[in-house]
Amino acid sequence: MIHLRIIAPEDCAAQALELLCDSDSVLNVVHLHGASRKPEGDVILCDVAREDASVIIGDLKELEIPRYGSIAVEELDSAISDKFTEAERAAPGLPSDAVVWEEVESRTEENTELSVSFVAFMVLAMQIAAVGVVLDQPTLIVGAMVVGPEFGPLAGVSVGIVQRQGKLARRSLSALAVGFPAGVAVALLTTAIFVAIGVFPEEFSKRDHPFTEFISSPDVLSLFVALVAGSGGVLSLTNAKSGALIGVLISVTTIPAAANIGLAAAYGEWNVAGGATAQLGINLLGIVVSGVLTLYLQRRLYVIRRRRHLKHPARRKAGLPEGRSARAEEAQAP
């Protein structure tokens, strides 16, 4: 179940109450007249079946509530009531398959900012990966994959493309464009220093590192794993499955490949650096492509659900056009 806290002017609040009370998938509707002071207006609390959360929020957006008030979305960890069961039955589909698009956008935006901490995590992850490559230790490679924060911006690019949010896509690309070069540069510098002081060996050969050789040896399976991992990562994002996301992070070699570029460059092993660059490009492209395709399919299912919901009688009682979207009409208006 999804809990909504709505703050709206009195007239909008009256329309929202009509909408919420006439929707079978909504319950526990509480109206506090004039309770909000900043912004001024009424407060409405309600619970919505997860399957219908985005379509209900879409109706509230048509009432222009975000312009004059606010809509807060919160997921309920547990709810004990027969009424909850009835509300979920009224919403077609399964809660585990439902996507609350407002949550996805919010969660993605939080992980796509180009910040000092993001660049720091990228640099630190590549430091771990570089040591793992030199020591031929898969355990360190896995650790570097978990530390790396690169999936957030990659998911942001996918969401930005599917949702047609150019600002989100550009911000995500900016984070990647700074984070990866910074990590590669520091990995190169660290490697050169460690070689000079004798911590790393003077020579590096890919043949002497059988457990990590795959990092700079891309093949068809590299692309396949990237495609599958990208789809799995998006599904974990849309369903808030953090455990699945961790599995995705340790299945793609973006961070190790980037670290290997700096490492190989420091040793002058340009063939290895080229292979690692190709591996990195394949992984990045595969994740974004599969992420876009997965999100697009999920979005199409939501659009179908939304179109059916537009015919709900509750919209007419709330003053919204039945069978069509008021926001779409405004966008098409000259």
**125: helix, strand or coil:** helix
Predicted local confidence at residue 249, as pLDDT:
65
Q: What's the CA gap between 224 and 277, in Å, rounded?
A: 17
* Degrees to nearest 5, angle at CA 318 with 31 and 35: 20
CB 159 within 8 A of CB 168: yes
Show pLDDT as tens, one digit a residue, over the chain (334 residues): 899 999 999 989 999 999 999 888 899 999 999 999 999 999 999 999 988 899 999 999 999 999 999 999 998 888 788 888 888 888 877 777 788 888 888 878 777 888 899 999 999 999 999 999 999 998 999 889 888 889 889 989 999 999 888 899 999 999 999 999 999 999 999 999 999 999 999 888 777 778 788 888 888 999 999 999 888 888 888 876 555 566 666 667 899 999 999 999 999 999 999 999 999 999 999 999 999 999 999 999 888 888 888 888 888 877 888 777 765 544 433 4
Q: Do the Cβ atoms of 215 and 253 come closer than 8 Å?
A: yes
Yes or no: say if 56 and 25 are a contact pair by the CB < 8 Å rule: yes
- Domain layout of the chain by residue ranges: 2-98, 105-302
pLDDT score for 326: 63
Distance (Å, whole) CA 292 – CA 231:
8
CA–CA separation, 282 and 222 (whole Å): 7
Q: What is the pLDDT of residue 278?
A: 95
Read off the DSSP letter of residue 133: H
Helices (H), ranges, 91-219: 101-110, 116-135, 138-147, 151-162, 166-197
To 5 degrees, how large is the angle CA 12–CA 13–CA 16? 90
| The predicted structure's pLDDT at residue 333 | 37
Look at residue 329 in the predicted model and tell me its pLDDT: 46
| Neighbouring residues of 142: CB distance < 8 A, sequence distance ≥ 6 | 250
36: left (phi over 0), alpha (psi -120 to 50) or beta: beta
Q: Where are the beta strands (DSSP E) in the chain?
A: 2-8, 26-37, 40-48, 70-75
Rounded Cα distance between 140 and 174, Å, is: 28
Distance CA 61, CA 66 (A): 6
pLDDT of res. 334: 41
Query: What Å distances lie between residue 126 and 9, 252, 271, 305, CA to CA?
Result: 51, 14, 20, 43
Query: Prior bond to 39 cis, omega within 30?
Result: yes
Find out if CATH 3.90.25 is the number for domain 2-98: no
